[in-house]
Amino acid sequence: MKETEKPEKGNQIIEEAAQAEYKYGFVTDIETEVIPKGLDEDVVRRISALKGEPEWLLDFRLKAYRHWLTLKAPTWGHVHVPEIDYQAISYYAAPRKLKKGGVEDIDPELKKTFDKLGIPLEEQLRLSGMAVDAVMDSVSVKTTYRERLAELGVIFCSISEAVKDYPDLVRKYLGKVVPYTDNFYAALNSAVFSDGSFVYIPKGVRCPMELSTYFRINAAQTGQFERTLIVADDDAYVSYLEGCTAPMRDENQLHAAIVEIIVEDRAEVKYSTVQNWYPGDKDGKGGIYNLVTKRGLCRGDHSKLSWTQVETGSAITWKYPSCVLKGDHSVGEFYSVALTNNWQEADTGTKMIHLGKNSTSTIVSKGISAGHSQNSYRGMVKIAPKATGCRNFTQCDSLLLSDTSGAHTFPVIEVGNDTSVVEHEATTSKINEDQIFYCNQRGIPTEDAVGLIVNGYAKEVMAKLPMEFAVEAQKLLSISLEGSVG
Amino acid sequence: MLVIKDLRASIEDKQILKGINLTVKPGEVHAIMGPNGSGKSTLSAVLTGNPAYTVTGGSVEFYGKDLLALSPEDRAHEGLFLSFQYPVEIPGVSMVNFMRTALNEKRKYFGQEPLSAADFLKLMREKRSIVQLDNKLASRAVNEGFSGGEKKRNEIFQMAMLEPKLSILDETDSGLDIDALRIVASGVNTLKSKDNATIVITHYQRLLDYIKPDFVHVLYKGRIVMSAGPELALELEEKGYDWIKEQVDSQQ
């Protein structure tokens, strides 16, 4: 008597994958300057003082802090954010040896970290043609390629430097798209944000290279509150990439970022994220809480903002990269792949707010749920009464890889006039055993077959990523899924 | 190459195969015929290792190896190919990517380097002409939006790419018009050699006009109840299966 091998092998693959380690889970042993845990006005003042900020910014932070005190954490998401003790977190951690200078001045341990992550800080890696701003814990470490960009008038630097060097620009735009009153986490970020990237593309300039930021949380029990501000002036273009990793730690870590984007007349911004924060272990222990507010304002006529995200990390994801389409004929796009495995929870989607006439938006969301995870799409398409002739197309697909995972959609559609057209399509499917066997029969093992099928499912979104990121994201999808089907 | 002895298999506790015996040698073409529900497709599924089925007894040797101990993908690498009755669609996965993955998995199994992109595309061009599959089909997603005929041609194209030792064609003629049937059959005949073998599973004589079998077996109630030369297929076409059913049922 003999059983076929298959079921047993399936289990074995699950075992292996469950034990597979998060590749980026190393901790760098460098001296870190951490201010004591806890949050009060003094801490806010101290962060501001440590960074040598002007009065107006301290004032902004204090207002945000005072407002935050009046708010409660939102509970409407389909995620279970446990009560966070905000007094048990340190709000500022900086690698101690950081000082101004060239690559050779960077702490060797820190450089090793970024090398492990494959971030091109060094000259030879500049061949990849990407300008990189690397943020470790709270401080921006090094911005490559700055001089070349400066020749074009492109500003790409850490937001702390921008506050010093371009105070008028920062003051003009900071908090204008995401005011500190926006939500609980936005208020918190506005009070304690430590660093992040600032991009300004002047009128008529097409940024000749991808701009890229890598965020990494290293120090224990710290939160990361970075703030990104991107401004594309009239007729400008930029493609911006964001990558994220964190070490494996048993306790959860908080990440509450803000990204604000302003797009002027005929300008275009493409913002791509590959989010791979530590998702926690197979029992749901540890992992990052990724509670992020991302929003862009298409202020100019014929302006365009395109969000592309591949989300595979974090224990909890709560983010809705949105477009406020204020300009006439402005265009908003949101392409998302969100993959959850084990006990991860993701509640992600977008808001497309049509205020300008003839503005159009496209939403393509692909959710993939494996293990015991919960994956939700939450979206809003709102067309103001005066925004005539608008169009939206939404495609919202869910793929279930296990019986114990969940896929949910929460769409809201409000159309204020009768000349606009809104289309919404949604599907939910299970990964098909026939597809896997078909691949098996052609010699492709189950794990690779699942990777192939899921990448095929996500193709429409992956195709929107810049080439070098697309390859990385494809691998990431396959790795994150290892053994999720049995 | 293939020796099946007393093979028994079930699905969800329902016994389908009740002791199959069959020997296939290189260069041979075997046709397996039989009424609906006799276990023809189950046999192909069990041989290729479909996890939906449980083997409950018997043995299968493939070139001296215990076939049933191998994973489905290793069975494929060893040279077993199934042309599916209902080829599945895999949206978003291009035929190029799919075939390249499959072929390179096979090469890896035999310790060979992956094929370069240029060599692979050249091979693809060469092989797709066998079943007159045009370039557009080859670059589309696996079976997505293919017509019934295109799907079956695509199966034979994959067979040409993977160069199996034993091919099982599971009702490859179903849903084909006469032109597509000719193309598919001529593809199969082109690929035929003295070193490989084919098992043709079919209801009808029609396909066997084009792919000439050396042996014809009748499967009924999970057993091969009759084996003979190609003339048996003609007799079945004429008389149907009832006389065999009666014969078998009366013996029980």
Contact B71/A456, CB-based, under 8 Å?
no
- With a cut of 50, say whether residue B150 has pLDDT above it: yes
Contact A441/B82, CB-based, under 8 Å?
yes
Residues of chain A with Cβ-Cβ distance to B98 below 8 Å are 439, 442, 444, 452
**CA B44-B45-B50 angle, 5° bins:** 155
- With a cut of 90, say whether residue B61 has pLDDT above it: yes
Q: Given this model, what pLDDT does residue B193 score?
A: 94
In a domain, A486, yes or no: no
Interval A311-331 mean pLDDT: 94
Lowest-pLDDT range of A298-307, A328-337, B119-128: B119-128
**Which of A437, A445, A459 lies closest to B50 in CB terms?**
A437
Q: Given this model, what pLDDT does residue B211 score?
A: 93
Q: What percent of chain B has pLDDT over 70?
A: 100
Lowest-pLDDT range of A244-248, B118-122, B228-232: A244-248
CA atoms within 13 A on the CB side of A249: 18
Q: Given this model, what pLDDT does residue A480 score?
A: 74
- DSSP 3-state assignment of B70? coil
Contact A442/B158, CB-based, under 8 Å?
yes
For residue A360, CA distances in Å to A159, A307, A327, A380, A420 come to 31, 14, 11, 14, 10
**Which of A432, A445, A446 lies closest to B88 in CB terms?**
A432
Task: Convert the pLDDT of each residue in A148-169 to its tens digit.
Answer: 788 899 998 888 889 999 999 9
In a domain, A59, yes or no: yes
Spatial distance between the Cα atoms of A263 and A267, rounded to a whole number of angstroms: 6
- With a cut of 60, say whether residue A309 has pLDDT above it: yes
Count, residues in chain B:
252
Residues of chain A with Cβ-Cβ distance to B70 below 8 Å are 5
Please answer whether residues B103 and B127 qualify as being in contact, where contact means their C-beta atoms are separated by less than 8 angstroms.
no
- DSSP structure class, residue A38: -
Interval A213-230 mean pLDDT: 71
Residues of chain A with Cβ-Cβ distance to B68 below 8 Å are 2, 4
Q: Given this model, what pLDDT does residue A312 score?
A: 87
Contact A4/B93, CB-based, under 8 Å?
no
Which carries the bigger pLDDT value, residue A481 or residue A427? A427
List the structure tokens of B166.
Answer: 């034993």
In a domain, A362, yes or no: yes
Domain count within chain A: 1
Place of tokens 């009768």: A418
Which residues form the domain of A231?
6-481
Please answer whether residues A297 and A177 qualify as being in contact, where contact means their C-beta atoms are separated by less than 8 angstroms.
yes
Q: Given this model, what pLDDT does residue A209 score?
A: 81
List the structure tokens of B247.
Answer: 């014969």
On the 0-12 / 13-18 / 19+ scale of CB atoms within 10 A, B251 is exposed
SS (H, E, C) A275-294: ECCCCCCCCCCCEEEEEEEE
Contact A6/B72, CB-based, under 8 Å?
yes
Contacts of A12 (CB under 8 A, 6+ apart): none
Please answer whether residues B63 and B1 qualify as being in contact, where contact means their C-beta atoms are separated by less than 8 angstroms.
yes
Answer whether B210 touches A (CB < 8 Å): no
**Which of B69, B76, B88 lies closest to A434 in CB terms?**
B88
Residues of chain A with Cβ-Cβ distance to B82 below 8 Å are 441
Contacts of B91 (CB under 8 A, 6+ apart): A456, A457, B141, B144
The structural domains of chain B, with segments of one domain joined by +, span 2-251
**Which of B54, B90, B91 lies closest to A3 in CB terms?**
B54
A to B CB pairs, distance under 8 Å: 103
Q: Given this model, what pLDDT does residue A128 score?
A: 40
- With a cut of 80, say whether residue A141 has pLDDT above it: no
Q: For residue B232, is it left (φ>0), alpha (ψ between -120 and 50) or beta?
A: alpha
Task: Convert the pLDDT of each residue in A244-267 to its tens digit.
Answer: 555 555 566 788 999 999 999 999
Lowest-pLDDT range of A371-380, A420-429, A469-478, B176-185: A469-478
Interface ipTM: 0.96
Contact B49/A433, CB-based, under 8 Å?
no
Spatial distance between the Cα atoms of A180 and A324, rounded to a whole number of angstroms: 17
Task: Convert the pLDDT of each residue in B62-117 to its tens digit.
Answer: 999 999 999 999 999 999 999 999 999 999 999 999 999 999 999 999 999 999 88
Task: Convert the pLDDT of each residue in B198-225 to its tens digit.
Answer: 999 998 888 899 999 999 999 999 999 9
Q: Given this model, what pLDDT does residue A288 score?
A: 85
Q: Given this model, what pLDDT does residue A468 score?
A: 67
- With a cut of 90, say whether residue A28 has pLDDT above it: no
Q: Given this model, what pLDDT does residue A364 score?
A: 96
- With a cut of 60, say whether residue A95 has pLDDT above it: no
pLDDT band for position B20 (cuts 50, 70, 90): very high
Helix H or strand E segment including A130: strand A130-136
pLDDT band for position B175 (cuts 50, 70, 90): confident
Task: Convert the pLDDT of each residue in A229-243 to its tens digit.
Answer: 999 999 999 999 887
Across all residues in chain A, what is the average pLDDT? Answer: 82
Spatial distance between the Cα atoms of A103 and A101, rounded to a whole number of angstroms: 7
The third-level CATH classification (topology) of the domain covering B2-251 is Rossmann fold (3.40.50)
User: How close B240 gets to chain A, by Cα (Å)?
Assistant: 32
Answer whether B139 touches A (CB < 8 Å): no
Q: Given this model, what pLDDT does residue A110 score?
A: 54
Spatial distance between the Cα atoms of B137 and B157, rounded to a whole number of angstroms: 11
Contact B71/A440, CB-based, under 8 Å?
yes
- With a cut of 80, say whether residue A472 has pLDDT above it: no
In a domain, A1, yes or no: no
Spatial distance between the Cα atoms of A321 and A271, rounded to a whole number of angstroms: 10
Phi, psi of A170 (to 5 degrees): -65, -45
- With a cut of 70, say whether residue A470 has pLDDT above it: yes
Which carries the bigger pLDDT value, residue A410 or residue B132? A410
Q: Given this model, what pLDDT does residue A26 score?
A: 56
Contact B73/A445, CB-based, under 8 Å?
yes
List the structure tokens of A242.
Answer: 């964001």
The pTM of this model reads 0.81
Contact A5/B71, CB-based, under 8 Å?
yes
Residues of chain B with Cβ-Cβ distance to A486 below 8 Å are none
- DSSP structure class, residue A453: H
Spatial distance between the Cα atoms of A254 and A63, rounded to a whole number of angstroms: 22
pLDDT band for position A99 (cuts 50, 70, 90): very low
Lowest-pLDDT range of A6-20, A145-159, B154-168: A6-20
List the structure tokens of A160.
Answer: 């702390």
